[in-house]
Structure 1
Amino acid sequence: MPRTRPPYPPEFHREAIRLVRASNEDHPIPRVANELGVSVETLRTWVKQDEIDESEREELTTEEKEELRRLRREVKPLRQEKEILRKATAFFARKEIGSR
């Protein structure tokens, strides 16, 4: 699904998270999101990921997610190459048996 607008700069993320954390309210995310013009869910996601990165939650950190994405991109062509080699091996094995 294509993004509807360019991503926010990291400084904007950090400032939005700081505003949420600095608030004395019980549920500051809706107010801060409205003030900054971002969706509540977007800001909630940023705050949650920051909590994960700061080891306040147990989930994949931003670095771990980036590494996972990178490794998945590396594995995909390797799996395709493996499948091609498997099929080529089977093809040549049949051809070898047929020529005997």
Structure 2
Amino acid sequence: MPKRIDPAVKERALRLLREHRGQYPSLTAACAAVARQERIGAETLRRWALQAEIDEGTRPGTTSEEHEQIKRLKAENARLREDVAILKAATTYVGDRCQAVA
């Protein structure tokens, strides 16, 4: 399970990355330097930076808000499928009981 990082650390790391990105030849190099300073993983920071660009609209992709909505809708869909399965089973049971009485 991924560990939770304090949102303040995430915001500070992204701010530092934005401020110092021009001093490095690549995003990866900038992430490595800032991540070392903030004591977080360089790949973690790189993924955060890419997601921040998507959320800002400067890079194509699924925004964090859209991702949360998709996740919520998938969970709701699973619950509804389970409800339908229960109702089908109940309908079959009641139908069988009615035929037995008749």
- TM category, shorter: 0.7 to 0.9
Following the alignment from structure 2 to structure 1, what is the Cα–Cα distance between the partners of residues 87 and 5?
A: 40
Alignment of 1:1-100 (within 5 A): 1=1, 3-4=2-3, 6-9=4-7, 11-23=8-20, 24-26=23-25, 27-100=29-102
Across the two proteins, how many residue pairs are aligned to each other? 97
Alignment partners' CA distance in 2, 1:51 and 1:16? 14
Using the TM superposition, give the Cα deviation of residue 14 of structure 1 relative to its aligned residue in structure 2, in angstroms: 2.2
More helix by share: 2
For the residue of structure 2 that corresponds to 1:28, the secondary structure is helix
* Distance (whole Å) between structure 1 residues aligned to residue 43 and residue 54 of structure 2: 16
Q: Where do 5+ consecutive residues of structure 1 fail to align?
A: none
Post-superposition shift, 1:62? 1.1
Residue type matched to 1:72 in 2?
A: K
> Normalising by the residue count of structure 2, what TM-score does the alignment of the two structures yield?
0.78
CA RMSD of aligned residues (A): 1.9
What letter is aligned with 1:71?
L
Q: Deviations over 1:48-96 (max 9, x none)?
A: 1101101122211111112222223333322211110011112222333
Distance 2:81 2:41 in 1: 39
User: Unaligned regions of 5+ residues in structure 2, if any?
Assistant: none
* TM score, norm. by length of structure 1: 0.80
